[in-house]
Structure 1
Amino acid sequence: MYIVNEGPNNAPTRGTLKRRDIDDNTGGTPIIGIPNLHIDEGELMQGGQWITYILHSDGISQLRLVRIDGQEQQTLYCAPANTHIANMQLSYNGQNVVFNQYPNDGGKPSLYLLSLASGSLQLLLHPQNDLAYTPTTWLDNTHILLTSFIPNSGAPRNDLYALDIIQGSNQHDTDLQKLFSQNWSCGSFDVSYDTTKLYVANCDASNGLSATGPTTISVQPSMGGTPQPIAHLNQAVTMLRAVSPTMLLLMVENGSGDTSQNGLWRMNTDGTGLTRLTDDTTGGQSLCPYSQYAWSNVTQDSKLFALQETDPHSADRKLYYGSLDMGTLTPFADIADGTDMRLVGWTLY
Structure 2
Amino acid sequence: MQQHMYVKRQTNTSLWITLVAVLVVAVIVGSFFSLRSLLVSSHNNNPRPPHYPVPAATATPSRTAPATPTPSPTATNVTQPVPATQTSCPAPSTARAMVTAPLAQGPHPQIVYIAQDMNNLASANRIMRYDTVSHQSSEIYAVPSPYIVRSSFLSSDGQWVLLSLFDTTKPGDNANVQLRMVRVDGQGAQTLFCGELASLTWSPDKKWIAFDDPIQALGVADTIHLINTTTGQYLDAVDVPPQTTPPGYIPRPSFWGSPTQLYLSYSLGSAPFHTYLFDLNNGTHQALSALPLVSTQQYVQGRADSSNIYLLASSCSGATCGTNQAGMSEIERLSTDWKSPQVLFKKPQLLLNDFSVGGTNLLVIASNPAASRRELWLVKTDGGGAIQLASAPGNWNSSPNFMNIGNGTVATSADGSMFVVSNWPSASGTTPEIAYGSSKAGGTLTAVPQDNGTYQYALGWTSL
TM-score, normalization: structure 1? 0.80
Q: Once the 2 structures are TM-superposed, how far is the Cα of residue 120 of structure 1 from its aligned partner?
A: 0.3
Change in CA separation of 1:229 and 1:45 when aligned onto 2, cut-off 3 Å: closer
Structure 1: runs of 5 or more not aligned: none
Cα drift, residue 276 of structure 1 = 0.8
Match of 1:194 in 2: 306
Q: Using the alignment, how far apart are the partners of 1:298 and 1:207 within structure 2? A: 29
Give deviations 1:314-343, integer Å, cap 9, x for gaps.
872311112212231111144563x44322
Say which SS state the counterpart of residue 174 (structure 1) adopts: helix
Contact 2:431–2:455 (8 Å) recurs in 1:
no
2:66 aligns with none
Check whether the contact 1:188–1:237 (CA below 8 A) recurs between aligned residues. no
Residue of structure 2 equivalent to 1:270: 382
- Counterpart of 2:278 in structure 1 is 163
Do 1:204 and 1:212's aligned partners in 2 also have CA atoms closer than 8 Å? no
1:118 partner amino acid = T
AA matched with 2:316: D
Task: List per-residue Cα deviations over 1:39-68 (Å, max 9, x = no partner).
Answer: 112212232222111101233211011111
Aligned partner of 1:137 in structure 2 is 255
- Does 1:94 pair with 2:94? no
Verify the 8 A CA contact 1:203 1:236 in the aligned structure 2. Answer: no
Task: Provide closer, same or farther for how the CA distance between residues 201 and 87 of structure 1 changes in structure 2, counting only shifts above 3 A.
Answer: same
Judging changes above 3 Å, is the alpha-carbon distance between structure 1 residues 204 and 310 closer, same or farther for their aligned structure 2 residues? farther
Give the aligned residue type for 2:257: L
Taking the aligned partners of 1:261 and 1:7, their CA distance within structure 2 comes to 23
Query: In the alignment, which residue of structure 2 is the partner of 1:26?
Result: 136
Give 3-state SS (helix, strand or coil) of 1:344's partner: strand
How many Å separate the matches in 2 of 1:265 and 1:116? 36
Q: Which moved more, 1:203-212 or 1:21-30?
A: 203-212
Contact in 2 for aligned 1:203/1:212 (Cα 8 Å): no
Matched with 2:113 is: 2
Q: Provide the secondary structure at the position in 2 that maps to 1:64.
A: strand
Alpha-carbon spacing, 1:330–1:310, altered in 2? closer, same or farther (3 Å) = closer
- Matched residues in 1 for 2:411 and 2:332: separation? 21
Match of 2:422 among 296, 302, 308: 308
Bigger Rg, which one: 2
Higher strand share: 1
1:189 touches 1:241 (CA, 8 Å); kept in 2? no
1:277 Cα shift?
A: 1.8
5 Å-filtered alignment, 1:1-349, equals: 1-6=112-117, 12-57=122-167, 58-59=169-170, 60-79=176-195, 84-102=196-214, 110-128=223-241, 129=243, 130-149=248-267, 158-184=273-299, 188-191=301-304, 193-198=305-310, 201-204=313-316, 207-213=321-327, 215-234=329-348, 235-244=350-359, 246-254=360-368, 256=369, 258-259=370-371, 262-280=374-392, 281-283=394-396, 297-309=411-423, 316-325=431-440, 326-334=442-450, 337=453, 339-349=454-464
Q: Secondary structure in 1 aligned to 2:187?
A: coil
1:61-120 Cα shifts (integer Å, max 9, x gaps)? 1101111122221110000xxxx3243221111111112231698977532110001000
Give the whole-Å Cα distance in 2 for the aligned partners of 1:340 and 1:109: 35
Counterparts of 1:35 and 1:282 in 2: how far apart (Å)? 33
The Cα offsets for residues 22-43 of structure 1, whole Å up to 9 and x where unpaired, read as: 1100014243342322011221
1:48–1:347 contact (8 Å) kept in structure 2: yes
CA, structure 1 residues 125+333, in 2 after alignment: closer, same or farther (shift >3 Å)?
Answer: farther
How far apart are the structure 2 equivalents of 1:6 and 1:156?
Answer: 38
Distance 1:315 1:37, change over 3 A: farther
**1:50–1:65 Cα contact (<8 Å) kept:** yes
Q: SS in structure 2 opposite 1:166? A: helix
Where 2:185 maps in the other structure, the secondary structure is coil
In structure 2, distance between residues paired with 1:212 and 1:33: 38
Note if contact 1:163-1:175 (Cα within 8 Å) is conserved in structure 2: no
Identity of aligned residues (%): 21
Cα displacement (A) at 1:300: 3.6
Q: Is the 8 A contact 1:44 1:50 kept in 2?
A: yes
- Aligned equivalents of 1:272, 1:65: Cα separation in 2: 38
What is the rounded CA distance, in whole Å, between the counterparts of 2:271 and 2:461 in structure 1? Answer: 30
Question: Alignment partner of 2:284: what SS?
Answer: coil
Bigger mean CA offset, 139-148 vs 220-229: 220-229
**Per the alignment, do residues 108 and 247 of structure 1 end up closer, same or farther by CA in structure 2, a change over 3 Å counting?**
farther
Secondary structure of the residue aligned to 1:209 is coil
Q: Report the secondary structure of 1:132's partner residue.
A: coil
Give the Cα–Cα distance (whole angstroms) in 2 for the partners of residues 308 and 240 of structure 1: 12
* CA–CA separation in structure 2 for the residues paired with 1:103 and 1:188: 19
Q: 8 Å contact 1:112–1:122 — kept in the other structure?
A: yes
Instruction: Answer whether contact 2:127 2:141 (CA < 8 A) is retained.
Output: yes
Which has the larger share of helix?
2
Does structure 2 retain, via aligned residues, the 8 Å contact 1:111–1:125?
yes
| Counterpart-to-counterpart distance in 1, 2:134 and 2:228 | 37
Change (3 A) 1:331 1:104: farther
Distance 1:64 1:158, change over 3 A: same
Q: Is the 8 A contact 1:7 1:13 kept in 2?
A: no
Distance (whole Å) between structure 2 residues aligned to residue 342 and residue 320 of structure 1: 10
What amino acid is the match of 2:367?
E
